[in-house]
Structure formats: C-alpha cells, structure tokens
Structure 1
Amino acid sequence: MEPSTAPRLSVLDQSPVGAGFSPADALHSSVELAQAAEELGYVRYWTAEHHGSPGFAGTAPEILAAILLARTRRMRVGTGGVLLPRYPPAKVAEVFGVLASVFPGRVDLGLGRAGGPAHDYPQRVRAVRVLLGLDEEGPTTGEEGSPVPAALPRMWLLGAGLNSGLLAGRLGSDYAFAHFLAPGPARAALASYRSAYAEHTGRPAPGGVLAVRVVTAESEDQAEALVQSVLLWRSRKDLGEDLPLPTPADALTHRWTALEAERARVRRDSLVWGTPDQVRERLTALAAEHGVDEMMVNTLTCDPADRLTSYRLLAEVFADKPRPVAPAGT
C-alpha cells in the first residue's frame, strides 16, 4: 500500500463501562455507535468478549452482533472475537450458521485463543471450519444434519503474537493483529501470515487487518485528557486493579504512583491519539508500515458521547483522503 493512501476504517467495540455509567448503558451505547458507524462509512463492526471485568460489558459477542446486524443494513458485523477455548466448536458453528443464513454476506466470525486452555485451539478452529463448510473438504451438512448456510460467514483469526497468524495462513483464513495489546510483534506476525497463506493457497494473502487503539478530539488538549483516562485505567488494570474507565477530570488530577506512571509510559506507545489530522497521518503511516489497507479502530472513553465524537471525527477526516478500493467479499 502506498504511504499516501489512507486505509479503510472499521470498528472494534469492547463496550467500555465508564465511571458513573452502568454495563447496560455501555451496551445501549454499542448499539447507537454501530448505527452511527454504518452511516459514517466504516467497513465492519466487531464486538469483543470479556468476562469478569468491570470495565467491559461485552460478555456475549455473538448476541450483541446479532442485535447489531438487525439494527444495521449494509455494514459487515461480527465478533472480535469469540473466545473459542470456552465453547464447543459445534455450538459456535451453529450460532454463526444461523447468523449467516439470516444476514447473508454480512457476518464476520472472529475467533480468539484466550479464555481457557488453548492446547487444542488449532483443532477447534479446524472443526468450526469443517462444520461451516468453509474448507473445500467440508460437508454439506453440519453436526447431526444441521444445514451449512448458503452464504458462509467470513472467518478471521485474531492474535497478538505469532501463532495465530501462522495458523490463519495455513488454513487460508483472514487475520487481524491486536496492535493495541502488543505492537512489537505486529510486522513479524503479519509477514508470517502472508507467507503461510501464499504457500497454502497459491495466492497472495488478503493482507490482514491491524487493530489499533485510537482517541481523537477537536483539540490536542481534549485528546490528551481522554488519553490520560485510558492510560490510568490501563495502568491500574496491569497492576491488578480492574475498574471502570475514570473520567478525564479524575485522571488529570490523579496522583500517579511510580508503578502506574511506568505502566502508562509503556502503554502510551501503543496508543494513537491527537487531533483528527494528526491521527489520520499516524494511522496512514502505520498502515503503510504494516502493509495493510484496513485499520480496526478501538476507542475507549468514559463517556459514550466522547467515543461517538472520536469515531465521527475520524471518519470525517478520512473521507477527505482517497481510499483503496475494497476487494470483493470484504
């Protein structure tokens, strides 16, 4: 991808819970954000899975994805992702077979290896693929005669290291790298994915997607205040204190401990933030550095209104730049 070409944008939604807001507020905000994202031109919208975390409300991504599919019309919707070690592969295949049957051509099935013992994760992924008919050697019916949907979901493997990218390539699946969790291995992981994909399929890989944590606001000072909230939340979480996202005002007046400040310095490198123009420049450069033409934007704010504003500003500033043409089936 040429460095001057702006990437396409998608949304990774973790349904963040801010101080003073409830998990129900967060889930309703996810519905509102998805509807806005479709109107703003985002390519796809993924719902994440977390359990036992006061900062995230999305415990059932397939349920939330179904609601969002019903509340939108054109945008692809899916999971980022279902934590496969927690579930029988047959159940995952059945759920997404139903979704793909009701919403043909719009469903993304993103799978992650967290959430439980992952020693048999590759076998579980292959089982889901066979049950859905995603592999050429797969059946025309699923387990116990369940029909394979005529319009298959698009499978994505998600990762923050090297293993999932290599597996995705060997299976001929799509792949998204969680830059916001661990930016260091991103280029190596994407390179191993593309190499394995080409070797397996005899075709160039689709390229992969980079998931990046982003915050933008009208001014640099406003963006910095929102970033301080994210950094305080993330630093606390790293140190074992899992809480809702603090307000920007609380973050700016917080007396940081030495350990919190150190974690914030580490985490700041994985954040893209600033005015819309600054963020557009950085995301475009990151896309070029990693050879991707699509960025999965993850934005966390205490107040859902600030999150919606960040996604709106980002879409507006990117709309002024030429975009790469989306390949068929994206």
Structure 2
Amino acid sequence: MSLRLSVLDQSPVGEGFTHSDALRASVELAERADALGFTRYWVAEHHHSPGFAGTAPEILAGTLLSRTTRMRIGTGGVLLPRYEAVKVAEVFSVLASLHPGRVDLGLGRAGGPAQGFPQQVREVSRLLGLGEGRGEAGGQAREAGPLPPLVSAPDVPPRLWLLGAGTRSAVLAGELGASFAFAHFLAPEPGVAALEGYRQGLAASAAASAGGPAEKGVLAVRAVVADTREQADGLALSLLLWRSRKDLGEDRPLPSPAEARRHRWSGAEADRAAVNSQALVYGTPEQVREELERLAAAHGVDEIVVNTLTQDPADRVRSYELLAQAFALPGSALPGSGPREPAAHREPAVA
C-alpha cells in the first residue's frame, strides 16, 4: 500500500545536549525532512520538561516555515486550554497569511481544564472563518456573544486538526469537519474506535453541509529505524528507559543506548517498559515499513505521522532517512548521511 509519511517532532533533549541544542536539531531535521519528501512536519508543546524543549510551537513553526519550501508545517499541538481562542486564531492567521497553503493548526485538550475545550475549538474555527460544525454545542456562545471572524483572516486559512488519544476529540473533529490525528504512541487500544467515530461524525457533517473533506484521519506512531537490528534494539532500549523513568515520576533527558544497556532495571521500570513497548515500532527499515503498513491498514488510514525520540540527534536524522528510503519517498535518493558504525552490542536488559 502507498502511505504518506509525516513527522511529529517533540524536540527531544538527550543526555549531554541542551534545550538549545534540541531546538536547533529540530530545525535541521525539518530541513532534511523537507528534502526527503515527508508530507507534513508538526512540532509539539511541552512545559517544565527536562526531556522536551518545545515550549512555544507557534514560534518554532514560524521558523520552520521560513526554513522549508514544500512540506506543510504545524503544531502537534497547541495546548488550547492554556490560551484564549482569539490569540491562537490571530497567531495562526498571521502564519497562514505569510505561508498560504502550508500551515496546519493542531489543537490538543491537555494543559488546563478540559471541559471548555469543545467550545474553545469552535471559537477558533469561527474566528478563522472555518465555520462552527454541527451539534448542540455549536450553538453555545460566550456570555459576551461569539466573536466574529477575524478582520485579518487569511485568504487560505490554516488547516484545523484535533489531536487525541481517545474518542472525544475524534467525535468533535468529525462534527466540525476538521482533520483528526490519533496518538497511537500514547494509547494504542482506542485507535480503531476513535478513527471510526471520527469518520462517522465527518460523514454526517459533510452531508449536512452539502459536501466537505473526505478524510480518513491519520495515525501518529512512535518508531525508530536503524541500519542494523542491534542498533535499533539499543535505540529502543534507550527510549523505553526514558519513558519508564518518566512514568514513575523521574523526568530526565533521554539516556544513551550505552547507558540503557548498563542500567540495572527495577521491577517497576521493567513493567513500564513492557507496557510501553506495545506502542513502539523499531527495527531495520524493512521491518518498520512492514509494521507501519500493517497499522495503517488496521486503522484505515493512508498517512502515518512518525514520532522518533533518540538521545543523539544524528540517530534521529538517520532514522527518518532510512524510513524515507524504505517507502521510496521522492527525495530519498538525495545525498545524505551514510550508515553509522554500529555500537558495541550487549543483549537488551529488558525483553
């Protein structure tokens, strides 16, 4: 099957690197992904995190738009409960005016009280001139009355995406006629149900508005690719150690594969690694391609947004290069970094 591939970049911070290093690495990766032929590139929002550097995705997205020429650039996503809807709409109106047809506005419900999220999304949509969608919630206005569309609304508005790991945002996206991305890397189990709920809501919305986008939704998957299986095992072990620590309240930068192999895993860490490994795809290019194609078919999508976390930014670039080659993306034959020397290998400490 033919899949579109995109990037979800959380600007990871590895041990031995700074937050500034991580942001510069995001810019370099975006430039490489643009040349390789990835479809879109999203940057995430995290706060007070030793392991993630992206605290202002709208700023980073603006930089990436100016440093790339082809990909759609956006957020995966802005944590809408932290902000006023009008401010978010104005920021992305400016970006879309400067870069028409290339801006994705992805919104997430984390970061604050979530009960007002549906109305906030509708307000952003209305301000950008995208409409309010369907359903009773669409008629709920703020006490001061709904704000009219922005005077400065761009000729080509940003594409509105809702991001989620459950069904609520999926249904809301369908009602609004927005796009939807399911975060498989956070919680794989609800994916099929969430995407089906999205499509059902979208079909009803499109029918009610005499047409609309025929969307399947996209799947955001955490994956790591390396030239050899033993290199991939080491990168995966590093990621699983980082995630296990984070789950257990120890938020740290990503460890190196060498540190992950030396680490004496506690029982709790091993348990968390076993759970988190179910949402991680890793291996050689052929192995990862086969699994991504299987996931896409199971979820009925034709685009995978790949999230890759490594301690060394060079390993991350190489992972995306190998993925581009495996899927024969248009720029995958361009000159780039060659295979890296495999590190000394020990059997993984965690199965």
TM-score, length-normalised on structure 2? 0.87
Which stretch shifts more, 195-204 or 220-229?
195-204
Q: Which amino acid aligns with 1:126?
A: R
* Residues 90 and 143 in structure 1, CA contact (< 8 A), matched pair in contact too: no
Partner of 2:333: none
C-alpha distance in 1 between matches for 2:157 and 2:204: 24
Partner of 2:203: 198
* Residues 81 and 111 in structure 1, CA contact (< 8 A), matched pair in contact too: yes
Unaligned runs of 5+ in 2: 139-146, 331-351
* Residues 122 and 132 in structure 2, CA contact (< 8 A), matched pair in contact too: no
C-alpha distance in 1 between matches for 2:163 and 2:230: 33
2:280 counterpart of 1:280? no
- Once the two structures are TM-superposed, the CA of residue 146 in structure 1 deviates from its matched residue by 3.1
Partner of 1:326: none
- Structure-2 change in CA distance of 1:27 and 1:41 (3 Å): same
* Residues 10 and 42 in structure 1, CA contact (< 8 A), matched pair in contact too: yes
Higher relative contact order, chain-length normalized (CA < 8 Å, sep 6+) = 1
- Once the two structures are TM-superposed, the CA of residue 147 in structure 1 deviates from its matched residue by 1.8
Larger radius of gyration: 2
Unaligned runs of 5+ in 1: 322-330
Three-state SS of the structure 2 residue aligned to 1:272 is strand
C-alpha distance in 1 between matches for 2:101 and 2:79: 23
Partner of 1:308: 317
1:263 to 259, 272, 288: 272
C-alpha distance in 2 between matches for 1:46 and 1:144: 25
Partner of 1:76: 72
2:121 counterpart of 1:112? no
Which stretch shifts more, 300-309 or 204-213?
204-213
4+ runs deviating over 6 angstroms? none
Partner of 2:340: none
- Structure-2 change in CA distance of 1:320 and 1:111 (3 Å): closer
Three-state SS of the structure 1 residue aligned to 2:174 is helix
* Residues 37 and 311 in structure 1, CA contact (< 8 A), matched pair in contact too: yes
Three-state SS of the structure 2 residue aligned to 1:273 is strand
* Residues 168 and 193 in structure 1, CA contact (< 8 A), matched pair in contact too: yes
Quote the RMSD (CA, aligned, Å). 1.6
Q: Which amino acid aligns with 1:213?
A: R
Partner of 2:167: 162
- Once the two structures are TM-superposed, the CA of residue 149 in structure 1 deviates from its matched residue by 0.7
- Once the two structures are TM-superposed, the CA of residue 205 in structure 1 deviates from its matched residue by 3.9
- Once the two structures are TM-superposed, the CA of residue 320 in structure 1 deviates from its matched residue by 7.3
- Once the two structures are TM-superposed, the CA of residue 76 in structure 1 deviates from its matched residue by 0.4
* Residues 98 and 149 in structure 1, CA contact (< 8 A), matched pair in contact too: yes
- Structure-2 change in CA distance of 1:320 and 1:209 (3 Å): closer
C-alpha distance in 2 between matches for 1:146 and 1:233: 46
- Structure-2 change in CA distance of 1:287 and 1:144 (3 Å): closer
- Once the two structures are TM-superposed, the CA of residue 7 in structure 1 deviates from its matched residue by 1.2
- Structure-2 change in CA distance of 1:315 and 1:286 (3 Å): same
Three-state SS of the structure 2 residue aligned to 1:319 is coil
Q: Which amino acid aligns with 1:234?
A: R
Partner of 2:230: 221
